[in-house]
Amino acid sequence: MLIDYLMNNMGLTHKKAKQVLTNKQVLVNNKVITKYNYLIKDKDEVSIKEYGNSKINNIDIIYEDKDIIVVNKPSGILTIASSSEKEKTLYHLVGTYLKERNKFAKVFIIHRLDKDTSGIVMFAKNDKVKKLYQDKWNDIVKYRGYVAILEGILPKEKDTIKLNLDDSDEFKVRVSKSGKEAITEYKVIKTNNNLSLVDINLHTGRRNQIRVTFSYLNHPVLGDFKYGSKVKAKRLMLHAYKLSVINPFTKKEMVFETKTPKEFNNYLK
């Protein structure tokens, strides 16, 4: 039965399983199911969608199933631990959330965002799933959408920028002929007060790719003082709002989206 599957395979308590079913959060093969005794077949895909705008233990959960959990990372928090920060990370928060439901639960990072970039991050619930996603990441990722506020007005409404980026320096990525190719496509959404709101599609996933690319064009991301921003901002104005991937098990496309943070509106009214 579905309620048993939620408890045995997704680590929910009986009370929590009843709650998500009642709230119409449970999807079986992308169809909402509310019946506790719904019969699950071997090839059925079961997932839990977020309810309203609620957050669980300060984690904004976009999607969760037995293999992965996708969350909306806030700006200012590391995705995973560094030499100077071990506990105040998204990885730690997600791990704590999963262990509260199942003390044997584990969490594995599939990809990451910079500390000051907000948006979609995907984690795996076991090592096998992590390896499947990571080993085929460039093949299964179909769309990586970002929104950013840039300093100045870009000369073109839309363009595709190709650069070679060298990330051998741990602190800063640089444009270099010997670096790896980085392809960044953008489209201007709005301009105001010498600022540009742009929609970005990453064709490659290099470290700091967006930040370095627009800094090289002399239009750094607002608040990115590491790469040349001169205008004060409360945060780095870069947000990963959309991620489309092919599930390596089902071969079906999964699309995850988040809203642009409210603080972006303060700069382009």
Active site residues per annotation: 114
What distance in Å separates the CA atoms of residue 19 and residue 231, rounded to the nearest whole number? Answer: 47
Report the Cα–Cα distance between both ends of the chain, in Å, rounded: 51
30: left (phi over 0), alpha (psi -120 to 50) or beta: left
What distance in Å separates the CA atoms of residue 148 and residue 74, rounded to the nearest whole number? Answer: 15
What distance in Å separates the CA atoms of residue 30 and residue 49, rounded to the nearest whole number? Answer: 10
What distance in Å separates the CA atoms of residue 35 and residue 83, rounded to the nearest whole number? Answer: 48
Which among 49, 55, 14 is positioned nearest to 33, based on CA atoms?
A: 49
Which among 216, 124, 121 is positioned nearest to 173, based on CA atoms?
A: 216
Q: Tokens 């947000």 correspond to what residue?
A: 239
